[in-house]
Amino acid sequence: MADVHQNAAPIRFETSPERYRHWKLDFPSEYERKVARLTLDVQDNGGLRQGYSLKLNSYDLSVDIELADALSRIRFEHPEVRAIVFVSGKDRIFSAGANIYMLGLSSHTFKVNFCKFTNETRLYLEQMSAESGIASLAALNGTASGGGYELAIACDEIVLSDDGSSAVSLPEVPLLGVLPGTGGLTRLVDKRKVRRDYADVFSSLAEGVRGKRAVEWGVVDESPSRAQFQQAVELRLKAMVGRSTAQTRPSIKLTPIDGDYHEAGTRYRYVTLSVDAARRVASLTIRTPDNREPTTPAELAAKGAEAWLVRAFRELDDALLDLRFNYANVAAIEVRAEGQGENVLQAEGILIDHASDPLVREVTHLIRRVLKRYDNTARSLFALVDDKSAFAGLLFELALGADRTYMLDASGVSLRVSPMSAGLFPMATNLSRIQAHFYGDPSRAATSLAETSSIDTARARELGLVTFTPDELDWEDEVRMAFEERASLSPDALTGMEANLRFVGPETMETKIFGRLSAWQNWIFQRPNATGQKGALTLYGKPERPEFDFTRT
């Protein structure tokens, strides 16, 4: 079957509320604008690509791009918000989930990346509650199935109308032969703590459950009658606003980053993505600030989205998504940092000196989220430290997060560790990247963090901060051979290997979603029972019944 995304225009991820086609973001006066209302009203013919219709509030990537943008704008542009409510703009249907016809017309690569992006967005919603004190409520005035229920379960609370027809369901296993793609199974048992046997039945029922049973099983929090539905929603929202820990802070307008997109990559003010299609290698370079950056919350508020800490990491986020969706053949990435390391240390100082300030915390959360997207990049990441490098402080996190680090053994080459690596930006495991790097020997992490000056190649090698340290004679050949070897290996095996090795340490709900769920879904999406000619996903909506190979592994 042809891929609906093949040979189509590149996917772009920047948007803004005035350009939304599927969501409406507003702030009802009855809640004194302390509640952000996100209304899902998907336009049937407004999909990212032609060839499918987004009926019943089903969604594709374009819908989730808008949602991710809306959540960012709530956090930065609307500091008065204390709670979010999700509602449907259609009667008796909240959302039918990810559009099945879109999935059926998409390549394996696109399906996996689509699921990854929706996972990241829903985790972002949960992080808003945990980090910023902005809780969320799913007000289900109709059926929420599949990804529609997975959006609901990412919220803190769920209210389902008991109107005789509205239900919640995860029908992927019985109807499509795949798994819920956005963490639904994990959240059922790990987050909502639904009993395993109930979760088993719920995940096997295509029609889902309604009303009283949905409450008894714990898959929703409340199921009032249709007449009492709005009152129940209002009471919960007022309670959320009342217990919110969010603090008053200045608003920052998220101005466009205006990437210069072209066939061989993208250039932004501080970030450059360059793609060498012949080598199947990309170069991802982030540049340090040129001038003095804000040192106080007032200065940060005045500079807003143009502050290096905000703009550079928004640019990096866009570049990572550009790479993920638009350059599927890239095998490995050269990760570089250029400029003046001292400028990074000056810019990042506000994150420590004013860590308790609510605006500074929001910027910290933004950087944390982008670094997690970097961790989830399904490409080999090799950091290159040479005489032009500025892997200092915050930018050294990119080297620590890489799969390997090559450091030139020559005069004038150095890196710099700062308090930024001490845990301000934890990975999905809740470990810092330096803790993950030295997981078998925590004392070496402490020793490295105690370094207060520039670290040359010999000292970096002694500390164990880098992988290889070729001299000037061997540098070019060794680096070239490393990338050539990487590009020759199976991309499937590399993706699995890197995901296993990067998330060393404790398992969390987040690592289960990006490790266990993603790995199984990656496999299932390629199996004939799901996507073969007679597979359940392939034949969805057609009169033929799927034919399964009933062999169990």
Q: Are 365 and 131 in contact (CB under 8 A)?
A: yes
SS3 content of the chain, % helix, strand, coil (to 5): 45, 15, 40
CATH superfamily membership of 17-243 = 2-enoyl-CoA Hydratase; Chain A, domain 1 (3.90.226.10)
Domain with CATH 3.90.226.10 in the chain: 17-243, 260-494
Whether the CB-CB separation of 313 and 269 falls below 8 Å is answered with no
φ/ψ (deg, to 5) at 464:
85, 25
On the question of pLDDT at 1 being above 70, the answer is no
What's this model's pTM, rounded to 2 decimal places? 0.96
What residues does 168 pair with on adjacent strands?
A: 144, 209
Other residues' Cβ atoms within 10 Å of the Cβ of residue 20:
20
Domain 260-494: top CATH class? alpha beta
- Is the pLDDT assigned to residue 177 strictly greater than 80? yes
What residues pair up with 23 in beta bridges, in sequence order? 40
- How many CA atoms lie less than 13 Å away from 287 in the CB half-sphere? 11
Neighbours of 44 (CB within 10 A): 12
Helix boundaries (H) for 3-146: 61-77, 100-104, 108-132
Average pLDDT of the residues in 427-439: 97
CA 437 to chain centre: 22
How far is residue 518 CA from its own chain's centroid? 13
Residue 552 has pLDDT above 70, yes or no: yes
Q: How confident is the model at residue 3 (pLDDT cuts 50, 70, 90)?
A: confident
From 203, 217, 119, select the one nearest 509 (Cα to Cα).
119
Nearest alpha-carbon partner for 251 in 372, 31, 73, 10? 73
Element (H, E) at 158: strand 157-160
Q: Read off the DSSP letter of residue 276.
A: E
Determine the Cα angle at 287 with ends 292 and 9, to 5°. 130
DSSP, collapsed to helix, strand or coil, labels residue 209 as strand
pLDDT of residue 2: 56
The pLDDT mean for the chain works out to: 96
Contact 462, 415 (CB under 8 A): no
470: pLDDT strictly greater than 80: yes
pLDDT of residue 499: 87
